[in-house]
Amino acid sequence: MKETKVFNDQIENKDKLTQVINNFDSYQGGVGERNIIKIIEVDSKKINIKAFKIPNLINQIVYNFFRKSKAQRSFEYAKKLIEFGVGTPKPLAYFEFSNFLLFKNSFYVSEQLDCDLTYRELINDLNYPNHEFILRAFTRFTYSLHEKGIQFLDHSPGNTLIKKNGEVYEFYLVDLNRMHFETMDFEKRVKNFARLTIHKSMVQVMSDEYAKCSGEDYDKIFNLMWKETQAFQEQFHRKIQLKKKLKFWKF
């Protein structure tokens, strides 16, 4: 089995980190179904290891010869975000395992970042303390991403960690393997909010704050943002129903 490993230049104990990856399955705990995340202590520091599911046969060939793995993209995008001054847990390394023809396991390693909440809490509790204040700050954060030419394709509720620092809320992106770095037009910018919430009231607040940031018309932003939000929810629920039908026919 061929092993590829790339480290952050600041990493000192590379051998110990390599040993942790090689013994990943022996560590208890872990969350996730497709991809498994484990938080492991190394030299008195907590690190976050994401083990990506082995891809299907076609993608094993694609990732082996033609496309960067999710682990490599996560590592490189994290470094790029930091260069842009965007919050994300510090990238430490990525590991890939493959044979002559097929790509197999891959791991992305970063520092563990403990947060106070994620965007998801704002969806689940509309009375969360400082709810509107946080939501407006998050919208300004997203606007700053767009201004820097960062299109975070997985801009969804669990992928933004939020830390409270005094009276300021700081935002950190995770699950980084799907991003585009490009100049974004108005439609792409607004569509980037589509996966975030089912609540019309939250879309209204985000539309209002984005209008203040961009100088665009509120109604123009809201109408598109709400339309794209509804379209995403309809597509999401269609996929769930399809999966249920497929599971039924398996029995």
Q: What is the pLDDT of residues 36-84, one digit of tens each?
A: 999 999 988 999 999 999 999 999 999 999 999 999 999 999 999 999 9
Residue 251 has pLDDT above 50, yes or no: no
| Residue 161 bridge partners (DSSP) | 118, 172
Q: What is the pLDDT averaged over residues 166-172? A: 95
Residue 151 has pLDDT above 90, yes or no: yes
Q: Is residue 181 domain-resident?
A: yes
The CATH number of the domain holding residue 45 is: 3.30.200
- DSSP state at residue 53: P
Are residues 161 and 75 part of one domain? no
Q: What is the pLDDT averaged over residues 172-199? A: 96
Boundary (domain end) residue, out of 91, 111, 131:
111
Specify the pTM. Answer: 0.91
Query: Are 85 and 172 in contact, with CB atoms under 8 Å apart?
Result: no
Boundary (domain end) residue, out of 61, 87, 111:
111
Query: How many whole angstroms separate alpha carbon 211 and alpha carbon 199?
Result: 18
Instruction: Pick the closest to residue 75 from 21, 6, 133 (CA basis).
Output: 6
Are residues 129 and 96 part of one domain? no
Query: Are 134 and 122 in contact, with CB atoms under 8 Å apart?
Result: yes
How much is the pLDDT for 136? 98
Domain count, the chain: 2
Strand 168-173: give its sheet, edge to edge. 117-118, 160-165, 168-173
Residue 249 has pLDDT above 60, yes or no: no
Are residues 224 and 168 part of one domain? yes
The CATH number of the domain holding residue 155 is: 1.10.510
- Of the two residues 175 and 247, the one the predictor is more confident about is 175
> What are the residues whose beta carbons fall under 8 Å from the beta carbon of 72, sequence distance 6 or more?
6, 94, 96, 106
Q: What range does the domain containing 223 cover?
A: 117-239
End-to-end CA gap in the chain: 37
Query: How many whole angstroms separate alpha carbon 206 and alpha carbon 208?
Result: 5
How much is the pLDDT for 250? 47
Are residues 140 and 107 part of one domain? no
